[in-house]
Structure 1
Amino acid sequence: MASLAKNLKNLTPNIPRAIVTWDKAERIRRNEEIFKNPESVVHRLPEHYKRRYWEMILSDRKPVHYQLPTARFAWDPVRNEEIELENNPIIGIHPPEADEGLWGGERVVKGWIESAPYTKKKILPRYWVPKLYFPNLKEVVLYSEILDKYMQITVTERALRLIDSHFGLDYYILETPEIDLDSKFANRLKREMLLALSKQLYYPEDQEKKDYIKQKYASFVIPEEEAEWIGLDLNEAARKQQDIEQSTAAEPLKYKFERELVERLRLGAEEPTADSEDVDGPRPTESQFGDRLLGKYLNPIGQKLRSATR
């Protein structure tokens, strides 16, 4: 396979044909099933979160464990034919430990190795066995000037190279999309940074340093109501929305109707009605007990009693 890829020659500088990878198709299918339910809590999420979430779903991950083809067609001198190059991403396995550090998009990759490669085939047959390739992890101490604290984080070599290319941890976290950060810790760190920038919680005792940070990261400032939703996955956002709805006490409808009535009276759209009682006093009421139960036997007695009360 290596010799085949080495002998391929590009025929044209045209970019490869745009396709939907299996990873993006699976993300779209899974979220489409969730949003199809009209009674789901996802429809009550803020509009800015839903827009940002779908932008992340429809975007492509940056290649980490593979390289994108540079042309659409290539010539294979081994088979003497023209072939069309395909984009087959290697996604890898995302373990729970990856959410506790900065892996720079790296994952555990499943591959294959040849058993007994230096043994003659006549003595021991060769076959392919699965093998897991793990990234090289290390513990380092990184500094965030927005949060003004040092953190001991588990990182990979690729994450350190990305931090150096972005000239610091803060720029790397803020400039990298959530889908490429690929870590709950990194997304939580990004949310804390954006909240600190929106509330201006940094360096309260050093005005010169505060003005410097405000000017340096002015392009990343967003409203606070949007910053507190950054980096939340769909389950975390749904739980946050449910907690907000449950914390708000339900108001009885009588208070709503009372406010509407007062507003209509204030605007003159409705006239106040007089009380049902007369000016001279309460209107006398006649009892129908005797007429309904005993009929004509008690009617004369009832008439005498009514005439006496009048």
Structure 2
Amino acid sequence: MTSLAKNLKSLTPNVRRAVITWDKAERIRRNEEIFKNSESVVHRLPEHYKRRYWEVILSDKEPVHYRPPMSRTAYDYFKNVEVELEENPILGIRTPEGDQGLWGGERVVKGWIESAPYTKKKFCQAVVYSEILDKYIKVTVTERAMRLIDENFGLDYYVLESQEIDLDSKFANSLKREMLLTLSTESYYENDDEKKAYIKEKYAKYVIPEEEAEWVGLDLNEAARKQQDLEDSISPVPLKYSLEKSLLERLRNGTDEISQETENQEVPVRMESKFGDKMFGKYLNPIGRKLRNATS
């Protein structure tokens, strides 16, 4: 048995350990502090938005600027030992300009030398076409974004298939929200029934309810502002009006318990105390009779 145990090999030698980057840990910690406040507006957000939001927070971004190791261990021929590989993702800097285009998940990477900076352009202005929205869009795109659009056979499939964390752009997320709203309301190709049926069948798996589609791609600040605006747009109704309406309905239907108890209740018999007559009757009764005679 001892020799057999030495020759046994692990069935999963290439399974890498789960890595939590400092960026992901910081996102979880910051959102945990926000949701700890029970009086915050985030607790009044729709459940589908909170579920989708936390799925994005807990998910890992697709590697863009680095290649993760394919196996868990590797052999170091210099030290003549087997070492465990580590995944060290390169996290870029998010800039305001990055929210205005399709960057394919790319960011500005600090501390690295760009290859052929004067002969090879990393991004450009391009015109892309959305089949769902039926319009051409002029936008700043990177080479990786154009490659992903081609791999997904069009802009619509690329945007709809990608997660919000991988799109990593307010413009791309707003474009995804507009596409989902268009699909949910079927407000496309109103004058072409054949094209409308084609689009409906082609993108059927991406259709979600309209009340969910209008929240897709919003960050937490935008969602909280939207929820606050919705609450402020509803004028408060005084409580007395609802209570009055409820009482009138119960009285009209004869289901009011208090009125029924009052109708069925017997008139109480008045009980007079004899203690006062015994103590002060001989003084007060003659005076009471004189007053009654005077008034009559």
- Scaled by the length of structure 2, the TM-score of the pair is 0.79
User: Which amino acid is the alignment partner of residue 144 of structure 1?
Assistant: S
Which residue of structure 2 lines up, in the alignment, with residue 236 of structure 1? Answer: 222
Q: How far 1:271 sits from its partner (Å)?
A: 5.0
Q: How far 1:74 sits from its partner (Å)?
A: 1.0
Using the alignment, how far apart are the partners of 1:239 and 1:170 within structure 2?
Answer: 28
Using the alignment, how far apart are the partners of 1:13 and 1:84 within structure 2?
Answer: 11
Using the alignment, how far apart are the partners of 1:90 and 1:201 within structure 2?
Answer: 41
CA spacing shift, 1:236–1:82, aligned 2, 3 Å = same
Asked whether the equivalents of residues 75 and 81 of structure 1 are also in contact (C-alpha less than 8 Å), the reply is yes
User: Which amino acid is the alignment partner of residue 171 of structure 1?
Assistant: Y
Asked whether the equivalents of residues 102 and 185 of structure 1 are also in contact (C-alpha less than 8 Å), the reply is yes
User: Which amino acid is the alignment partner of residue 205 of structure 2?
Assistant: S
- 2:270 aligned with 1:254: no
Using the alignment, how far apart are the partners of 2:43 and 2:20 within structure 1?
Answer: 26
- 2:255 aligned with 1:268: yes
User: Which amino acid is the alignment partner of residue 45 of structure 2?
Assistant: L
Using the alignment, how far apart are the partners of 2:39 and 2:17 within structure 1?
Answer: 39
Counterpart among 178, 190, 205 of residue 191 in structure 2: 205
Corresponding residue SS for 1:151? strand
Asked whether the equivalents of residues 21 and 87 of structure 1 are also in contact (C-alpha less than 8 Å), the reply is no
Structure with greater helix percent:
2
Q: How far 1:147 sits from its partner (Å)?
A: 0.5
Which residue of structure 1 lines up, in the alignment, with residue 286 of structure 2? Answer: none
Q: Which runs of 5+ in 2 are unaligned?
A: 1-11, 114-119, 263-290
Asked whether the equivalents of residues 100 and 184 of structure 1 are also in contact (C-alpha less than 8 Å), the reply is yes
Deviation readout 1:211-235 (Å, 9 max, x if unpaired): 1101110110000000000000000
Counterpart among 154, 160, 170 of residue 146 in structure 2: 160
Which residue of structure 1 lines up, in the alignment, with residue 82 of structure 2? Answer: 82
Using the alignment, how far apart are the partners of 2:105 and 2:64 within structure 1?
Answer: 7
Which residue of structure 2 lines up, in the alignment, with residue 97 of structure 1? Answer: 97
Asked whether the equivalents of residues 108 and 135 of structure 1 are also in contact (C-alpha less than 8 Å), the reply is no
Using the alignment, how far apart are the partners of 2:219 and 2:43 within structure 1?
Answer: 15
When the two chains are superposed, the root-mean-square deviation of aligned CA atoms in Å is 2.3
Q: How far 1:245 sits from its partner (Å)?
A: 0.3
User: Which amino acid is the alignment partner of residue 268 of structure 1?
Assistant: T
Asked whether the equivalents of residues 24 and 57 of structure 2 are also in contact (C-alpha less than 8 Å), the reply is yes
Q: Which runs of 5+ in 1 are unaligned?
A: 1-11, 114-133, 275-303
Using the alignment, how far apart are the partners of 1:61 and 1:49 within structure 2?
Answer: 19
Corresponding residue SS for 1:111? coil
Counterpart among 176, 188, 193 of residue 162 in structure 2: 176
Using the alignment, how far apart are the partners of 1:168 and 1:255 within structure 2?
Answer: 56
Asked whether the equivalents of residues 104 and 144 of structure 2 are also in contact (C-alpha less than 8 Å), the reply is yes
Residues 258-297 of structure 1 aligned to structure 2 (within 5 Å): 258-265=244-251, 266=253, 268-270=255-257, 272=259
User: Which amino acid is the alignment partner of residue 54 of structure 2?
Assistant: W
Residues 1-310 of structure 1 aligned to structure 2 (within 5 Å): 14-111=14-111, 136-265=122-251, 266=253, 268-270=255-257, 272=259
Percent identity (aligned): 68
Deviation readout 1:209-262 (Å, 9 max, x if unpaired): 111101110110000000000000000000000000000000101012113223
Deviation readout 1:2-34 (Å, 9 max, x if unpaired): xxxxxxxxxx85121123222211110010010
Deviation readout 1:167-224 (Å, 9 max, x if unpaired): 0000001110000000000000000000000111101111111111011101100000
- Displacement over 3 Å in runs of 4+: 271-274
User: Which amino acid is the alignment partner of residue 146 of structure 1?
Assistant: I
Q: How far 1:112 sits from its partner (Å)?
A: 5.1
Asked whether the equivalents of residues 247 and 256 of structure 2 are also in contact (C-alpha less than 8 Å), the reply is no
Asked whether the equivalents of residues 106 and 135 of structure 1 are also in contact (C-alpha less than 8 Å), the reply is no
Using the alignment, how far apart are the partners of 2:20 and 2:220 within structure 1?
Answer: 22
Using the alignment, how far apart are the partners of 1:13 and 1:82 within structure 2?
Answer: 12
Using the alignment, how far apart are the partners of 1:162 and 1:60 within structure 2?
Answer: 18
Corresponding residue SS for 2:110? strand
